[in-house]
Structure 1
Amino acid sequence: MFKQWRRRRAIQRVRPGDGLPLKRFRWWQPLIRSLFYLPSDEGAGRSAVYAVDVHHLRSETENGNIGAHLYRDGRRQARAELPTIFTVEGGTIEVIATTFGLRRCHYVTDEGAEQQLVPDPRSGEGRRARLDREHPVLSRWISAFSLIVLLGALLLTLPQLAESLSRIPPVAERWGTFTSPLDLPLWSTIVLAVSAGIASTERAMRLRYRAWLDEG
């Protein structure tokens, strides 16, 4: 029931577009813009080419949430605050964002089959996909390194989090306080945070996401 309610809410966020043309992807936008395409498929009754455009630094609403714009054959057909679901021929396009990019941009048919949209080759996601195709071994090493960085950051952060929680008066009165065995200097904390952010961005370019890992 809750899942259906969230789905209805996502669909209700969609507003009509204004017909403006899709702007070309600029060389300086890979980290601040995501652009994905759903090619036409005459066999599935979908003659138009759809595009989903997300500007990660541009607020769609007054509360600061980013949005996605849906283009049909190069013209803006709809727009919505994320997360959202756009209705197209034969199914829907689901778009969900994270702090570091997108974690979902998929076409879901009426029968339940789904496929990820194709990233623009000039986008960060497109460049990462090309690296995976042309240099699969290097790609796997980068993926593994990102995972190791995030797991390491999580393990180093947990003791400090436990110490902070143990200092809450009700917790301290019942269970006592906990002192973290790790005392990281400021520079180390900054390096750790920057490294984790880069690793999460790399994972977002592959639309990989785990809440406990990538939003930690």
Structure 2
Amino acid sequence: MGEWLRRRAAKRIKPGTGRELRPFRWWQPFARSLYSIDLGRQVYTVDVRHHRRFFSENGKGTADLYLDRRQHAESKLPAAFPVPGGTIEVADSPFGLKRCHYVTDVGEERRLVPDRASAEGRREHFARSHPVASRVIGVTSAALLVTSVLLLIPQLVEVAFKIPPVAQRFGTFVSPVALPAWLNTLLSVGAVLASTERALRLRHSWFLDRVG
């Protein structure tokens, strides 16, 4: 996050109320992200409730920052919370978080640690316990997104060129790929699952995951 974006993000920060951090519940694996970092004698926790963006006027989510389990600040996303020695940067994607890092004043980065009970925490635990299987899943997710892009994009372009104003100005376009509806649906669902899996690892491609 550049300096200009940090300054803009700083304007979105509001002071917290001091309320206590609620524990992660078993029914919240894909509705909430909870990350923490220990900065010496202070523990900072980022709490993102993903459903909030669906109820906001501009579709932007929010993040709460807790200091030693008390709400310290809140901000619309993307957020940049000043903390001792640097900044905690938080950014979301349509499938979860794509960034939750502590950036020091000299530019070094460290990812915050997900709560063990969260979906991100369970994915991280799986990666440590089964590193080979974890890598296979990661490669499969990326391959599925690439496949979806290569097969779905030409068909979407063909649909766009059927719109009368577009067709009148640019002509028509026939996709070299023609898949049955059930296979297109299967690819779309697979792309969503792949992007969600990548979000659990804070992996994000501006093109692949946006399309997925």
TM over 0.5: yes
User: Which stretch shifts more, 146-155 or 57-66?
Assistant: 57-66
Assess if the C-alpha contact under 8 Å between 1:61 and 1:81 holds in 2: no
CA distance in 2, matches of 1:61, 1:178: 38
Shift in Å, 1:63: 2.3
State the Cα distance separating 1:178 from its structure 2 match. Answer: 1.4
For residues 97 and 38 of structure 2, the distance between their equivalents in structure 1, rounded to whole angstroms, comes to 19
Q: What letter matches 2:85 in structure 1?
A: G
* Corresponding residue of 1:24: 23
- Please say if 1:36 is aligned against 2:31: no
Can you give the 5+ residue segments of structure 2 that lack an aligned partner in the other structure? none
Q: Work out the CA distance in 1 between the residues paired with 2:39 and 2:157.
A: 52
Identical columns (%): 52
Q: Is the 8 A contact 2:44 2:67 kept in 1?
A: yes
Greater than 6 Å deviation, 4+ residue runs: none
Matches of 1:62 and 1:165 in 2, distance apart?
28
Q: Could you tell me which residue of structure 2 aligns to residue 12 of structure 1?
A: 11
Question: By how many angstroms is 1:166 displaced?
Answer: 3.4
Task: Give the Cα–Cα distance (whole angstroms) in 1 for the partners of residues 62 and 106 of structure 2.
Answer: 27
Give the C-alpha shift of residue 165 in structure 1: 4.0
Contact 1:149/1:195 (8 A) holds in 2: yes
Matched, 1:52 2:46: yes
Structure 1, unpaired ranges of 5+: 42-46
Q: Does 1:111 align with 2:92?
A: no
What is the TM-score with the length of structure 1 in the denominator?
Answer: 0.90
Q: Calculate the aligned-residue CA RMSD, in Å.
A: 1.9
TM-score (norm 2): 0.92
Report the Cα distance in structure 1 between the residues aligned to 2:73 and 2:199, rounded to whole angstroms.
24
Q: Work out whether 1:205 is the aligned partner of 2:200.
A: yes
2:31 partner letter: I
Q: Which residue of 2 aligns with 1:185?
A: 180
**In structure 2, how many angstroms separate the alpha carbons of the residues matched to 1:190 and 1:165?**
18
Instruction: Determine the structure 2 residue equivalent to 1:142.
Output: 137
Are the aligned partners of 2:152 and 2:184 in contact in 1 as well (CA < 8 Å)?
no
Deviation at 1:182, TM superposition (A): 2.7
- 1:187 offset after TM fit, Å? 2.3
Deviations 1:149-179 (A, max 9, x none): 1111101112113323434556545653111
Q: Find out whether 1:94 has 2:89 as its counterpart.
A: yes
Matched-pair contact (CA < 8 Å) for 1:151–1:213: yes
2:96 alignment partner AA? G
1:7 positional shift: 2.0
Task: Describe the SS at the equivalent of 1:187.
Answer: helix
Question: Letter of the aligned partner of 2:10 in structure 1?
Answer: I
- Between the two proteins, the alignment pairs up a number of residues equal to 210
Q: Give secondary structure in 1 for the equivalent of 2:20.
A: coil
Offset of residue 5 of structure 1:
2.8
2: CA distance, partners of 1:183 / 1:102: 33
